C-alpha cells in the first residue's frame, strides 16, 4: 500500500468512527453471556468494541437499546435456555419498537441464517470471529435490515483489543490466550462453532496481564479450549510449521507462556483452563511447581474411564495414559494439587459395565471436583454422523446421578485432607450467606469462607482451615 493510500484509509476510519460515535452515543447496550469462560471473555471484547463506538453499558435489560446475548451450543439444554430468553426479549421489543436484539457466539455460528428465520425477534447474528464488524452490522439493523456475519477466521485473536471488564469483580480476570479447537472429539460442537486453533501473541498476553494487575486484579485465568497446545512464533502462524519448530528457541510453548506471566509479579496469581490429557507436558508441571503464584490446580477432563468409549469419543488417550498423567501431576506438583474433570454419561452404545469403569476411574483418582453431563447429540459432529444416540434418557440420568453421588463423596474426602492446614487465600468477595464473612480460594482452587476481620477484598491472607463440607472449607485468618 502506498503512503497516500494508507493515509486515505486512516482518515476514512477516523471519519467513520466519528460518524458512528454520533449515531451510537447515548445508546445503551445490555450484554448477557452463557457457556464457557471463553464466552465471558469474548463479551468483554465486544463491550470494549462498543464502548469505543459511543455505546454505554446498562445492567438493566429494560433500559437497553441493544440487547446482545452471547450463546452456547454445547448441549441441547444450553440452546433451549437461550431460546427462552429470546422469547422474554420479544416481550420487551413489544414495548420498545426501537430495541434491537443480537445473538452472538456459538449458537450464532452453528445456526447462521436459520436463526433469523426461526427466531423472528433476532435482528443480528454474529459469530465469534466477527466481533470487529459489530458496529457496521448494528448500523445496518438501525436502518431496518437484519444483519449477519458468521465467517470463521484462521488468524483472528483480537490481540490488540483491551477487554472491558464490565461484569467482573475486578480481582479475578480472564485472558484468552488462544481460540478455536482442532481436536474433533466426536461428541463436541466446539470445533464447528469456534473454528481452527490459533494462538495469540504472548507479548500481548503479558501486556494484558500487567494492565490487569495495575487495575487491582490479583488473579488471571489463561483461557483456551486446549491451552497445552498453545504455540506461537514470530516466524509463522501455520500450525504444521509451528510443530516443526517445537523445542526450538524461536517458538513459545504453553510452559514458556506460563513462566512469562508468572514473572510479572509474585502477587498476581495464575490459573489456566482447559488442559487436554494428551497434550499436557511435564514441562508445564515443572513450571507450576517452580512458581508459587501459578496455582496448584489442573482441570483435566477425562470424559470416560473406559477405553472403548474413549476411542469412540476420539479423545486419543487411554485410561492408562490418563492415569499416568495423574501420577505425574501428583509426583511433580504434589499430592495437594487440586484436580478436576468433566464426565459424560450415556455416550453412544455405553454399557453399564463401561459406565462402571468411569466410576472406578473416579475411585482411583478421587477428584477434588467433577463437572458431569449426560450426553446430548449435536448435529454435524462425528458422533451424530456415525453412531446411534441409543442410551435412553432415564439410563443417562441414572448414570449421571451415580457420577454426581460418587463425586460428592470424593470432594468431601479431599476437602477433609485440607483440615487444620494453613493456606494463602485471595479474598474475592463477601460470602453469599453472611456479610460478616469473606470468601476466597487457595491455590488448589478450594473455596474457603472465613470471618472478615480488618482485611479488604483483593488482599491475600493466611487462613487456617477448621471445618468443611463437600463443597466448602471454613476457616479463620491467622495473624
Ligand atoms: N475444551 C474443553 C471442553 C469444552 S466443553 C475440553 O476439551 O475439555 C466442556 C465439557 O462439556 C466437555 O469437557 C464435555 O464433558 C462436555 N460436553 C461437550 N459436548 C457435549 C455433549 N455433546 N453432550 C454432553 N456433554 C458435552
Ligand atoms: Fe470439544 Fe474436545 Fe475441543 Fe474440548 S478438546 S473443545 S471437548 S473438541
Ligand atoms: Fe459453549 Fe461455545 Fe464455550 S459451545 S462451551 S460457548 S465454546
Question: For a pocket test of ligand 3, which of 40, 42, 69, 72 has the largest count of ligand atoms closer than 8 A to its C-beta?
Answer: 72
Distance 304 CA to ligand 3 centre (A): 20
Measure the CA–CA gap between 466 and 460, rounded to whole angstroms: 18
Q: Which three cell numbers stand for residue 276?
A: 487436554
Spell out the alpha helix ranges (H) of 215-303: 239-244, 254-262, 282-290
Question: For a pocket test of ligand 2, which of 74, 180, 190 has the largest count of ligand atoms closer than 8 A to its C-beta?
Answer: 190
Q: What is the residue-wise DSSP string for 378-404?
A: -TTSHHHHHS---S-HHHHHHHHHHHH
For ligand 2, atom 5: residue with the closest CA:
183
Ligand lying nearest the CA atom of residue 383:
1
Measure the CA–CA gap between 59 and 28, rounded to whole angstroms: 9
Distance 78 CA to ligand 3 centre (A): 9
Burial environment of residue 283 by CB neighbours within 10 A (0 to 12, 13 to 18, 19 or more):
middle
Q: What is the pLDDT of residue 150?
A: 98
Q: Which three cell numbers stand for residue 63?
A: 433500559
Q: Measured between alpha carbons, how far apart are the two ends of the chain, in Å? A: 64
Could you tell me which residues come within 8 angstroms of residue 426 by beta carbon, excluding any fewer than 6 positions away? Answer: 171, 172, 218, 219, 269, 440, 441, 458, 459, 460
Ligand lying nearest the CA atom of residue 223:
1
Phi, psi of 219, deg, nearest 5:
-150, 135
Measure the CA–CA gap between 275 and 293, rounded to whole angstroms: 18
Closest CA to 82 of 34, 29, 46: 34
Measure the CA–CA gap between 33 and 57, rounded to whole angstroms: 14
Distance 37 CA to ligand 1 centre (A): 13
Spell out the alpha helix ranges (H) of 263-334: 282-290, 307-312, 319-332
Distance 294 CA to ligand 3 centre (A): 25
Q: Which residues of 102-118 are buried (b: 16+ CB within 10 A; e: fewer)?
A: bbbbbbbbbbeeebbee
**What crossing angle do the helices spanning 282-290 and 254-262 adopt, rounded to 10°?**
10
Distance 194 CA to ligand 3 centre (A): 8
For ligand 1, atom 4: residue with the closest CA:
225
Cell 453421588: give the residue.
405
Number of the ligand 2 atom closest to the C-alpha atom of 184: 8
Q: Which three cell numbers stand for residue 312?
A: 469412540
Question: For a pocket test of ligand 1, which of 373, 374, 378, 382 has the largest count of ligand atoms closer than 8 A to its C-beta?
Answer: 373
pTM of the model: 0.94
Distance 11 CA to ligand 3 centre (A): 38
Closest CA to 46 of 34, 66, 31, 65: 31
CA dihedral 440, 442, 445, 451 (to 10 degrees): -30
For ligand 2, atom 1: residue with the closest CA:
188
Number of the ligand 2 atom closest to the C-alpha atom of 226: 5
Q: Which three cell numbers stand for residue 278?
A: 494428551
Weakly modelled stretches of the chain, pLDDT under 50: none
SS3 242: helix
Q: What is the residue-wise DSSP string for 120-159?
A: TT--EEE-TT-GGGHHHHHHHHHTT--EEE----SS---T
Phi, psi of 412, deg, nearest 5:
-65, -45
Distance 188 CA to ligand 1 centre (A): 6
Phi, psi of 478, deg, nearest 5:
-95, 145
Q: Which three cell numbers stand for residue 213?
A: 494487575
Distance 357 CA to ligand 3 centre (A): 28
Measure the CA–CA gap between 238 and 254, rounded to whole angstroms: 17
For ligand 1, atom 15: residue with the closest CA:
342
**Which residues have CB under 6 Å of ligand 2?**
181, 183-185, 188, 190-191, 225-226, 276
H or E, element range at 341: strand 338-345
298 C-beta closer than 6 A to ligand 1? no
Question: For a pocket test of ligand 2, which of 37, 73, 128, 183 has the largest count of ligand atoms closer than 8 A to its C-beta?
Answer: 183
Q: Which three cell numbers stand for residue 343?
A: 464426565
Q: What is the pLDDT of residue 248?
A: 65
Closest CA to 13 of 60, 52, 48, 47: 52
pLDDT in tens, 178-202: 999 999 999 999 999 999 999 999 9
100 C-beta closer than 6 A to ligand 1? no
Spell out the alpha helix ranges (H) of 35-152: 37-52, 76-95, 106-111, 113-118, 134-142
Distance 75 CA to ligand 1 centre (A): 9
Q: What is the pLDDT of residue 20?
A: 65
Number of the ligand 1 atom closest to the C-alpha atom of 374: 24
Question: For a pocket test of ligand 2, which of 188, 189, 301, 317 has the largest count of ligand atoms closer than 8 A to its C-beta?
Answer: 188
Amino acid at each position: 500500500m502506498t503512503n497516500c493510500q494508507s493515509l486515505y484509509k486512516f482518515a476514512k476510519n477516523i471519519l467513520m468512527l466519528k460518524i458512528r460515535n454520533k449515531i451510537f452515543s447515548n445508546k445503551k447496550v445490555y450484554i448477557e453471556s452463557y457457556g464457557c469462560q471463553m464466552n465471558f471473555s469474548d463479551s468483554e471484547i465486544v463491550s470494549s468494541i462498543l464502548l469505543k463506538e459511543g455505546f454505554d453499558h446498562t445492567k438493566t435489560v429494560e433500559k437497553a437499546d441493544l440487547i446482545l446475548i452471547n450463546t452456547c451450543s454445547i448441549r441441547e439444554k444450553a440452546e433451549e435456555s437461550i431460546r427462552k430468553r429470546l422469547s422474554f426479549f420479544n416481550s420487551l421489543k413489544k414495548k420498545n419498537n426501537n430495541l434491537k436484539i443480537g445473538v452472538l457466539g456459538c449458537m450464532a455460528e452453528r445456526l447462521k441464517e436459520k436463526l433469523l428465520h426461526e427466531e423472528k425477534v433476532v435482528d443480528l447474528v454474529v459469530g465469534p470471529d466477527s466481533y470487529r464488524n459489530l458496529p457496521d452490522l448494528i448500523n445496518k439493523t438501525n436502518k431496518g435490515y437484519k444483519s449477519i456475519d458468521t465467517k470463521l477466521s484462521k488468524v483472528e485473536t483480537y490481540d490488540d483489543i483491551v477487554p472491558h471488564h464490565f461484569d467482573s469483580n475486578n480481582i479475578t480476570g480472564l485472558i484468552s490466550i488462544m481460540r478455536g479447537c482442532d481436536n474433533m472429539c466426536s461428541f463436541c460442537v466446539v470445533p464447528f462453532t469456534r473454528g481452527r486453533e490459533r494462538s495469540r501473541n504472548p507479548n500481548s498476553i503479558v501486556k494484558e496481564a500487567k494492565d490487569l494487575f495495575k487495575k487491582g486484579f490479583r488473579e488471571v485465568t489463561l483461557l483456551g479450549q486446549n491451552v497445552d497446545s498453545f504455540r506461537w512464533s514470530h516466524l509463522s502462524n501455520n500450525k504444521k510449521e509451528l510443530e516443526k519448530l517445537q523445542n526450538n528457541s524461536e517458538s513459545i510453548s504453553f510452559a514458556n507462556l506460563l513462566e512469562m506471566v508468572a514473572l510479572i509479579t509474585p502477587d498476581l496469581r495464575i490459573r489456566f483452563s482447559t488442559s487436554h490429557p494428551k497434550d499436557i507436558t511435564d514441562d508445564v508441571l515443572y513450571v507450576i511447581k517452580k512458581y508459587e503464584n501459578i496455582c496448584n490446580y489442573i482441570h483435566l477432563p477425562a470424559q470416560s474411564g473406559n477405553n472403548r468409549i474413549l476411542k469412540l469419543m476420539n479423545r486419543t488417550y487411554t485410561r492408562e495414559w490418563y492415569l499416568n498423567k495423574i501420577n505425574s501431576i501428583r509426583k511433580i506438583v504434589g499430592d495437594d494439587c487440586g484436580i478436576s474433570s468433566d464426565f459424560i454419561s450415556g455416550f453412544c452404545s455405553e454399557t453399564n459395565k463401561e459406565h462402571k469403569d468411569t466410576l472406578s476411574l473416579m475411585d482411583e483418582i478421587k477428584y477434588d471436583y467433577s463437572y458431569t453431563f449426560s450426553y446430548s447429540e449435536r448435529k454435524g459432529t462425528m458422533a451424530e454422523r456415525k453412531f446411534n444416540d441409543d442410551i435412553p434418557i432415564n439410563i443417562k440420568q441414572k448414570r449421571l446421578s451415580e457420577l454426581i453421588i460418587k463425586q460428592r463423596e470424593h470432594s468431601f474426602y479431599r476437602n477433609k485432607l485440607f483440615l487444620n492446614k494453613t493456606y494463602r487465600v485471595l479474598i474475592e468477595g463477601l460470602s453469599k450467606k453472611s456479610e460478616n464473612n469473606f470468601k476466597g480460594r487457595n491455590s488448589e482452587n478450594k473455596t474457603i469462607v472465613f470471618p472478615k476481620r480488618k482485611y479488604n477484598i483483593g488482599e491475600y491472607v493466611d487462613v487456617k482451615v477448621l471445618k468443611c463440607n463437600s463443597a466448602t472449607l471454613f476457616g479463620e485468618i491467622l495473624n
